[in-house]
Structure 1
């Protein structure tokens, strides 16, 4: 939960980009303040709940349900969210263990910096995966015939691998640059801005535009449970991710804003399993079924029978994954 902070002498060698904007001493042997303690407790509770929720998603989709291209994205997204929450818990533990064991200042900064880069890796990976998932949903709704006939069989797995590699490249670039470039904070600024625009703001606008088109166009269609779940996930990514994207700028005026943005990031990684259950179990404005039944309705039935699109020749065709 603790942001990488260093003195001016150590900024260029150990701390990642966010640390470069805060040139003040941090004593690992100092007890955390009361407000940080409250925020850390809240974040810990959210992380524990999120870990349980994402573990349920991994167990059901990995071992109890038939896989399809959509669940490949969901599985990878759950892995990214689970990992991010785990990194946050380790960081919180480090924050509260350091005063008891009085960890060396340089060791503390190094470990904290590594944890922060791992946090960014998981955060970027989740953002990229959700964007790819939303793009596929848009293509399936707008071009159902082309999508069903021409979509490569292993596209989901290939894209997930590439997106994990992209997230690793961004995190590695940030980590290595901070050992050689005193202006590495600017790399972090650019990454945050580009990622937010391309993988949060743009997907939100495109999904909202498609939703309005499906519901208010000349040929009104129900978007389906899968699309609703993805749209809500993108919406919450924008709401909870925006504070983290602008945190590096606002933290200069209000340092505690970093901790608030971490709480929101943990909420973003914890809320997807809840959305899957609520959307999958909703029937006629009532929520009634087990967790497994809700997931099956969302990921299996919804992908084949609930999204129908009009194709040339007045033939009705199901959007299939």
Structure 2
């Protein structure tokens, strides 16, 4: 199973027989690549804003540690998609292909790494908030302070190990072993990480609808729920297509699924800021205050402060 089958076929402009040298341009492909590029650029700005806030303006809490790592993952994924889209635009608009096939495998593997890491982080965030609901006393009093950082380190190691295994087998053209490695990776994603993420978010959704109104961090629950929901809508099609590709079954075009995946990686910062900026009358506030409202449900620190909410009730 060739790894580059997961990419859209390179448009090979064909010279016409008219008196002048000209090429047939793939207008639809160029439009999709252009839209993908535009969305990725917006996503890079949004995720860059999250990285700036969590890196220099706001002290991190257990949830924002995951959010920081998720922003790094999305930023990395969007960088690779920008590179891929630019290469395809150059290739489609040129009468002389630039030879992007030799870059396709590496772009796919890098995007695969970022995609898997995003899935793992969303699962960790969802389970963390679910545990805080089901076992509030343990979460407030006995939860290790470095648990988020340790889990993120383990998830980065897992994503690197999975991607390295796929890379070593697929780039060496071991067809059977490559297919086995890819299928095993998708089974890990679909059967190990996806179900806990979905179940935890169902619990969060029920909590938002049926929980008491006092001291209920609804904004944070809504942020997590929307982030996972958009991941299922826009991010999962890429993994489903690549999984079905191993059985020679076509599911959408790879350009479309990469467009959807770009939307998934770009939309998270806007969810944070929109949910945090809306109060009773949806008044607009600064990005930092909006982000703090969404991520720090128990306490809103002052503008420019690096203070974090404190756990209480132990």
Q: TM-score, normalised by structure 1?
A: 0.80
**For each residue in 1:14-55, what CA deviation from the matched residue of structure 2 results, as whole angstroms up to 9, or x when unmatched?**
x52x62x79x98576767622111110110110000000000
User: Compared with structure 1, are the counterparts of its residues 190 and 225 closer, same or farther at alpha carbon in structure 2 (3 Å cutoff)?
Assistant: same
1:1-321 equivalences under 5 Å are 15-16=2-3, 19=5, 26=10, 33-98=26-91, 100=94, 102-104=97-99, 108-178=100-170, 179-183=172-176, 184-213=178-207, 215-216=209-210, 222-248=216-242, 252=248, 254=250, 257-284=253-280, 286-300=282-296, 302-304=297-299
Match of 2:305 in 1: none
**For each residue in 1:206-247, what CA deviation from the matched residue of structure 2 results, as whole angstroms up to 9, or x when unmatched?**
211343156336x67645211211111111111112311221
Instruction: Give 1:198 shift.
Output: 3.2
State how many pairs are aligned. Answer: 288
Which deviates further from its counterpart, 221-230 or 175-184? 221-230
User: C-alpha separation between the residues in 1 aligned to 2:299 and 2:273?
Assistant: 18
User: C-alpha separation between the residues in 1 aligned to 2:25 and 2:183?
Assistant: 28
User: C-alpha separation between the residues in 1 aligned to 2:251 and 2:240?
Assistant: 12
**For each residue in 1:173-220, what CA deviation from the matched residue of structure 2 results, as whole angstroms up to 9, or x when unmatched?**
111111152122343233224313433344123211343156336x67
User: Compared with structure 1, are the counterparts of its residues 227 and 110 closer, same or farther at alpha carbon in structure 2 (3 Å cutoff)?
Assistant: same
User: Compared with structure 1, are the counterparts of its residues 281 and 292 closer, same or farther at alpha carbon in structure 2 (3 Å cutoff)?
Assistant: same
User: Compared with structure 1, are the counterparts of its residues 148 and 289 closer, same or farther at alpha carbon in structure 2 (3 Å cutoff)?
Assistant: same
Match of 1:4 in 2: none
Instruction: Give 1:304 shift.
Output: 4.7
1:32·1:96 contact (CA, 8 Å) conserved in 2? no
User: Compared with structure 1, are the counterparts of its residues 43 and 60 closer, same or farther at alpha carbon in structure 2 (3 Å cutoff)?
Assistant: same
**SS in structure 2 opposite 1:66?**
coil
Gaps of 5+ in 1: 1-10, 306-316
User: C-alpha separation between the residues in 2 aligned to 1:27 and 1:286?
Assistant: 46
Which deviates further from its counterpart, 119-128 or 284-293? 284-293
User: C-alpha separation between the residues in 1 aligned to 2:206 and 2:282?
Assistant: 24
Which deviates further from its counterpart, 203-212 or 24-33? 24-33
1:280·1:294 contact (CA, 8 Å) conserved in 2? yes
Q: TM-score, normalised by structure 2?
A: 0.81
Gaps of 5+ in 2: 15-23, 301-309
2:44·2:266 contact (CA, 8 Å) conserved in 1? yes
Instruction: Give 1:161 shift.
Output: 1.0
User: Compared with structure 1, are the counterparts of its residues 235 and 79 closer, same or farther at alpha carbon in structure 2 (3 Å cutoff)?
Assistant: same
**For each residue in 1:134-170, what CA deviation from the matched residue of structure 2 results, as whole angstroms up to 9, or x when unmatched?**
1111111221111111111111111111111111111
Instruction: Give 1:271 shift.
Output: 0.7
